[in-house]
Structure 1
Amino acid sequence: MDGYADTYYARTLSEAGAHPALSGAHEADVAVVGGGLAGLTAALELAKAGRSVVVLEAERIGWGASGRNGGFVGPGYATSHAHITRMVGRDNAQHLHRLSIEGAQIVENNISSLGFADQKLVHGKLSVLRYHDPDGLARRRDLMEKEFGYRLDLMSTEEVRTVLKSSKYYQALHDPAAFHFHPLNYSRSLAKALESLGARVFERSRVVATDFDSAEKVIRTSDGELRARDVVLACGGYTDNLVPRLRRSILPIATYVLLTESAPDQIAEAVRTPKAISDNRRAGDYYRLVDDGARLLWGGRITTRTSEPRRLAEMMRQTMVSTYPQLKGVRVETAWSGLMAYARHLMPLIGRMQPGIWYAYGFGGHGMNTTAIGGKVVAEAILGKTDRYRLFEPFGLAWNGGPFGTAAVQLTYWTYQAMDLARERRSARAA
């Protein structure tokens, strides 16, 4: 796959041309370390403002979670609005949620304004309950309308089961503004747009040393050196120990995705909507039709260590079949994993570490919108336009707890799974 993991997205890339590795001495106004969506969005905003920008990617553009995810774009964060409100208060929580809405709009606007011909958007996302709670969903719908003017449609159990032929599902909220698309094509399109604005993009250019103590920052790779006034660090779940403080603030969490074989008739018996679907469980299932309904792309499960994707894929296939017995016998064609960066507080890590050193990472499995807003607010700060990045300051670079933090995450996940299962069983008994 030319340096990419064997994913559906790598198999269906519209263009896979490589960018050169950094060689020799270079200078720029801003150096961006990390060729994922946060770094690319920051670079694009800076390049559009006339700054000279260099992007350094250790592997390939979009190689990490940015190019391996489910491709869902909609507002929100990895934690709930209620939890954010408890942490920072109502007013700041509202500002942060509006930023998350803006992040989704940034992605859609980029596709429209930059003429990304290889992007096909499919609008609509269903967030489905696996237990009976229409009143709770109605309250959520009303809150989003009242506080943000954001429309969500409540679907009854009958309406849900008309398009999702599963007895596991009850009510749902439909977000007509959310959409799904091909994230790796989008990542590579951003890089292409950057180059058209005069920015330089380098792949296979892992940073091996830095000097951030002077006004002019120095970044070194194995074959080159880059000097810049500002540096944006955006390495996501693959952040290494080059900047120990950043690495100690995240927990790399593995998630898994499978792609079924082509089985259009069987899949049509189960899933009868082109919209994106996710359930309400913590680290629950998310899936969508691809290849015009011929295949199903299905994601879910998290672990604190990377396991062999095929083994986890079989577990996910069993979950898929338990949800849709119609899919029994449908084989897994390929499966892959990727690392997401979670902070202990489950909010993105966006801010300034010291003069001239900025960071945007830790998007925790809800990155398609938050990478966009993270990149934008960091770029705005560098340009002196706004200080909106300060909305994320209350969350900060908290220590991840080391091995104890990893164990706590896994135990928390298992606890949520047990709670979800108990609630589903109660609902099934009451039906």
Structure 2
Amino acid sequence: MAEYIDTYYRRSLVDDIRHAPLARDIEVDVCVIGGGLAGLTAALECARGGRKVALLERNRIAWGASGRNGGFVTAGYATGIENIERRVSRADAETLYRMSIEGVEIVRSNIEGLRIAGADVAPGILRVLRHDGADGLKAYRDEMNTRFGEHLEFRDRAAVQADLSSPSYHQGLYDPDGFHFHPLNYARAIGAEIVRLGGAIHEETPALALAPQGAGHVVTTPMAKVTAQHVVLAGGGYTDGIEKRLTRSFLPIATYVLLTERLGDLLPQTIRTKAAIGDDRRAGDYYRVVDGDRILWGGRITTRTADPQGLAGLLRREMVGTYPQLKDVKVELAWSGLMSYARHLMPQIGKLGEGLWHCTAFGGHGMNTTAIGGKVIAEAITGASDRYRLFAPFGLDWNGGPFGRVAVQLTYWSLQAQDAWRERGNRR
């Protein structure tokens, strides 16, 4: 039987109710393949729109990156708005960015409206610089607050040091509208709401084949078939070859997370903010305090999944390099997860054919994009909007095959070297 891997989130689950594998043929309006946060949101919004829904998950809902991540919920995408504007008009870029803000509010609204137990919501995201860059941060703050009505707050070095006792950090931007939370408890609560609304979730039910049939599609699983008018492909880094156009278009990238032992009196000597923290490095460090006085620290990427215990040593080195006072702190747990990244660093959201939809490539975006991605696909299915078309310029670009993996790893190492050079001499 499929089980969640050992993570902080699994250890702090509020419930672990199982959803039975699909054992008989069924007919539904919408079949969602993939039980991560994008698939769960699409299924939830379709169910709210009165559609009969079935969600199929190979393992457990939120078994992959959706239930193992840093838990950051904040506006924006993995790429900056200036890069988005290279593919779309300024107006469309602004609409897309506002949709990312909407994604934050979707997650917040679900947590509050469903009274999700164990969501463990904590306010604020603090982005910090490892180099002196006050002028650039202030300019960015002014632009985002003016264009999008955000409430970003500039923090000078003294203010950053008041929260974070690290010689590595200079200035920062605080986002009071962002928050961090327990993604696995959230995902499981969304699953429960889908079932309450009459939808079906089938765990341990891989989709083996997909074929058109009449005005719809048939999904074959090990024991039964699903006939549906609409099929949503919402797999992430663990997507198999059921639709090769997808598997050729993104790269599965592994990221790593560790959990420290309890810090006790060391915590106030280190971190004195409830905000989650991320730095300005490429594929940089991100971390937050959980369970009262532990640090959940993430970072590093590889194009092949490596032993998380081995990578934990490298992550711990980053943590101690940032906070030397933690040199004797032990790592209690470490894990990894695969995320899907598109080359253009935007989500891949759209229509593959009549009644066939895709909603994937959420690596590096945070939870907000899975929420808005699932919602716009549901809107398309229910006829509420065609906002999914805004993502069309960020299509299924070829991932480069095996050469793409090599290129990503080499690029990451190059960016790490650039970061190290930029940070030289900046500690004082």
The TM-score by the shorter chain falls in which range?
over 0.9
Summarize deviations over 1:12-31 as a string: whole Å, max 9, x none: 00001111000111010000
Q: Give yes or no for contact 1:54–1:200 (8 Å, CA) kept in 2.
A: yes
Q: What are the equivalent positions in structure 2 for 1:96-245 lying under 5 Å apart?
A: 96-212=96-212, 214-245=214-245
Match of 1:350 in 2: 349
Which residue matches 2:424? 425
Task: Tell me which residue corresponds to 1:363.
Answer: 362
Gaps in structure 2 of 5+ consecutive residues: none
Which residue in the other structure is 2:289 paired with?
Answer: 289
Residue of structure 1 equivalent to 2:260: 260
Give the TM-score of the pair, scaled to structure 2: 0.98
- Indicate the residue corresponding to 1:27 in structure 2: 27
Distance 2:366 2:199 in 1: 24
In structure 2, what is the equivalent of residue 81 of structure 1?
81
- Greater mean deviation of Cα atoms: 314-323 or 84-93: 84-93
Equivalent pair of 1:160/1:171 in contact (CA under 8 Å): yes
Structure 1 residue 99, shift from structure 2 partner: 0.5
Equivalent AA in structure 1 for residue 417 of structure 2: A
SS at match of 1:240: coil
Query: Aligned partners of 1:123, 1:166: CA distance in 2, in Å?
Result: 21
Letter in 1 for 2:135: D
Equivalent runs, 1:284-323 vs 2, <5 Å: 284-292=284-292, 294-323=293-322
- Aligned length, in residue pairs: 428
**2:397 alignment counterpart:** 398
Is the contact between residue 288 and residue 298 of structure 1 (CA under 8 Å) also seen in structure 2? yes
1:276 and 1:367 mapped to 2: Cα distance?
12
Question: Does the CA contact (< 8 Å) of 2:74 and 2:366 recur in 1?
Answer: no
CA contact (8 A) 2:35 2:62 kept: yes
Deviation at 1:268, TM superposition (A): 2.4
**1:267 to partner: Cα distance:** 2.6
Paired residues of 2:251 and 2:399 also in contact (CA < 8 A): yes
Q: Which residue identity does 2:144 align to in structure 1?
A: M
CA distance in 1, matches of 2:346, 2:16: 32
Structure 1 length as normaliser, TM-score? 0.98
**Contact 1:248–1:399 (CA under 8 A) maintained in structure 2:** yes
- Percent identical across equivalent pairs? 56
Q: Which residue of 2 aligns with 1:325?
A: 324
- Does the Cα contact within 8 Å between 2:288 and 2:297 map onto a contact in 1? yes
- What is the CA distance between 1:427 and its match in structure 2? 3.1
1:426 to partner: Cα distance: 4.7
1:107/1:372 contact within 8 Å kept: yes
Quickly say closer, same or farther: Cα 1:352–1:2, change in 2 above 3 A: closer
The answer for unaligned runs of 5 or more in structure 1 is none
Moved over 4 A (4+): none
CA distance in 2, matches of 1:205, 1:74: 32
Separation in structure 1 between the aligned mates of residue 202 and residue 27 of structure 2, nearest angstrom: 13
Alpha-carbon contact 1:267-1:327 (below 8 Å) kept:
no
Distance in 2 between the 1:163 and 1:338 partners? Answer: 29
Q: SS of the residue aligned with 2:265?
A: helix
Name the CA distance, whole Å, in 2 between partners of 1:91 and 1:394.
14
Please state how far the C-alpha of 1:86 moved relative to its aligned partner.
2.1
Measure, in 2, the Cα distance between the counterparts of 1:166 and 1:263. Answer: 16
